[in-house]
Every structure is written in C-alpha cells, then in structure tokens.
Homo-oligomer: A and B are copies of this chain.
Amino acid sequence: MARIGNKQITREKLLDQGVAMLMEHGYHGTGLQDLLSSVQVPKGSFYNYFSSKEEFGAEVVQHYIEPFIRQLGDYLSRPELDALSAMKRYFCDLIAELERRQFKGGCLLGNLIGEIGDTNETCMDALKDAYHRYRDKLTEGLARAQAEGTVRTDQTAEVLADLVSDSWQGALLRMKVEQSVRPLQVCVSHLFDGYFKP
C-alpha cells in the first residue's frame, strides 16, 4: 500500500513538473532526464510511471486542464452570482494570475496544439478531449446567461463558447507579444460587454 502511495505521489509530482516544463520549453524542448532530475527521481525510471513521452504529454494535458474547469465550475455554482458575472470573475482571476506571472506561459493547450498538433496523435487526442471539456463548461455558463437574459440568444451557447475560446487563445499569444494583459482585458470586454449583449 505504502509503495503504491509513494508511486502515486511521484507520478503527481512528475505531472506537476511536466505542466511547468512543457509550458516553458514546449514539448520537444522538454527533456525527460531534466524532468526526472528536477523532481529527484532516478534517471531511467521514467517508464515505471509512464509508457512513453507521448503518453506522459497526454496525461500532462489532462492534469493541466482540470483546475481551470473546476475553477470556472466553482464560480458558476456560487448562488450569489449570475452566470455572466461568474464568467467575468473567472476570467478576471486568470488575468490577475497571468499578470503575476509576468505574461509567461499562456495556455498549454494552445501552445501544444501549435507545436505538435500535426505530428503527435496521442497528445492531440488528449488536447481535443481537454479542449471540448473546457468548451462544454463555458457552454454551460453561457446557456445559463442566455436563460438569465444577459447574453444574446440568436447564436447557440456552444458557438459563443467557441468564440470565447478562440479570442482568448489569440489574446494570450498577443499578451506575450505586447508583454501586457491588455489584450486579455480587451478580449473579455469586447465579448461579454459587446458582441454577446442581447
């Protein structure tokens, strides 16, 4: 039992560190030996935890997206907030966090789709799944906002969720170009206070 517990803890550590390293160096720029030594796991023991680098990348993607879906879900389940306010508060938190991180990182999903989207089928399956699960949570929020009368209803909530996701991804890239969170603020304001108005 103890050994299984330790193995699970190490696995989590490798996934946490994987998020950080893939975010900073990309998929091909992240070496497995560097990963292992950074969490003090013996060299050569990687395959005790993951069957391949591709499999590891796919699990890192799942590990990465969970907290975002949970955070958005938490805001959406607050009884004192209408859905539109909940989504705005969520994006406001993300913007504050990106400012604290000095505009580094962006979105691991977008970064990896750009880097290995044409070449790594295993990771791409995980990226698709993560993209859709995140989109579904946004759709849930937008559908509620539509029902509450704060978002236009002539487009489906899913179409609007895709627009949020697309604009946000592009704004994250521009954040790095401009070294500023202004593109993110403009994105949220144009959608939620502009185009999405009923």
Contacts and interface: CB of A to CB of B under 8 A. Distances in A.
Contacts of A163: 167, 186-187, 190
Contacts of A28: 25-29
A170 B172 CA distance: 9
Nearest to A191: B195
B174 A165 contact: yes
Copies per assembly:
2
Interface residues of A, number: 45
A65 interface: no
Contact of A170 (B26, B115, B169): B169
Contacts of A159: 186
B118 A114 contact: no
Interface in A133-181: 159, 162-163, 165-171, 173-174, 176-177
A105 B118 contact: yes
B174 A166 contact: yes
Contact of A114 (B127, B167, B173, B194): B173
